[in-house]
Amino acid sequence: MTLFSEPATPTRLERTAAALTANGFGAELLDDAAAARRRVGELIPPGASVFTSASETLRLSGIDEDINASGRYTALRPRLLAMDRATEADEIRRLSAGPDVVVGSVAAVTETGSLVVASASGSQLPAYSGGAGRAIWIVGAQKLVPDLGTALRRVEEHSLPLESARAKAVYGQPSAINRLLVLNAELHPGRVTVLLLREAIGF
């Protein structure tokens, strides 16, 4: 666990930010979750439709509450949770796949500038991969890894056990790595902003 929970050094953080930028992702180095919370508020225009993925990083930072309870945005998660899964499945799928902005995190980021996302349901993946007009990902310093192979190990050995424990407490059942998304580059300048923190937060 220590391997995947220790914050990366400043040198590694700077190298990763440079690699993300070279791959077309916007990358900003911030001190902590409080700074990320302020920055997210600056990046999202009032009234935008925003889908927040399930994320301990968003919960712990207060960003989830800022978006879904403040009234400043058209928050999609509360609306989706209130909809009927049997009769409104198509509308749920459309709303989550194409918001103005998706906000969340990732399971790992490589020093070569790739991002890895793991999901049990896959609900956030269409928006992450290109459906959302903009994507903002807040990434704790402990999520940096050297390469893709290590990123996949982090998902399986570190993130999954922690997420499974959370899922059991909240939903009564464990999580699973049913879907994996690897983002190697972004072709649309300005679509993605990665807020890379100097502190550890999330899974």
Is residue 79 one of the residues assigned to a domain?
Answer: yes
Where residue 120 sits, what CATH number does that domain have?
3.40.50.10420
Query: What's the pLDDT tens digit per position in 11-59?
Result: 999 999 999 999 999 999 999 999 999 999 999 999 999 999 999 999 9
Domain tally for the chain? 1
Is residue 97 one of the residues assigned to a domain?
Answer: yes
User: Given its phi and psi angles, is residue 172 left (phi above 0), alpha (psi -120 to 50 degrees) or beta?
Assistant: left
Q: What is the CA radius of gyration of the chain?
A: 16
Whether the model pTM is above 0.85? yes
Is residue 28 one of the residues assigned to a domain?
Answer: yes
d(CA 140, CA 202): 7
Q: Which of 9, 8, 7, 74 is nearest to 46 (CA)?
A: 74
Domain that holds residue 145: 2-197
Query: What's the pLDDT tens digit per position in 137-174?
Result: 999 999 999 999 999 999 999 999 999 999 999 889 99
Q: Is the pLDDT of residue 1 over 70?
A: no
Is residue 174 one of the residues assigned to a domain?
Answer: yes
Is residue 203 one of the residues assigned to a domain?
Answer: no
d(CA 58, CA 105): 8
Is residue 202 one of the residues assigned to a domain?
Answer: no
User: Given its phi and psi angles, is residue 62 left (phi above 0), alpha (psi -120 to 50 degrees) or beta?
Assistant: left
Is residue 112 one of the residues assigned to a domain?
Answer: yes
Is residue 74 one of the residues assigned to a domain?
Answer: yes
Q: pLDDT class for 3, splitting at 50, 70, 90?
A: confident
Q: Are 133 and 126 in contact (CB under 8 A)?
A: no
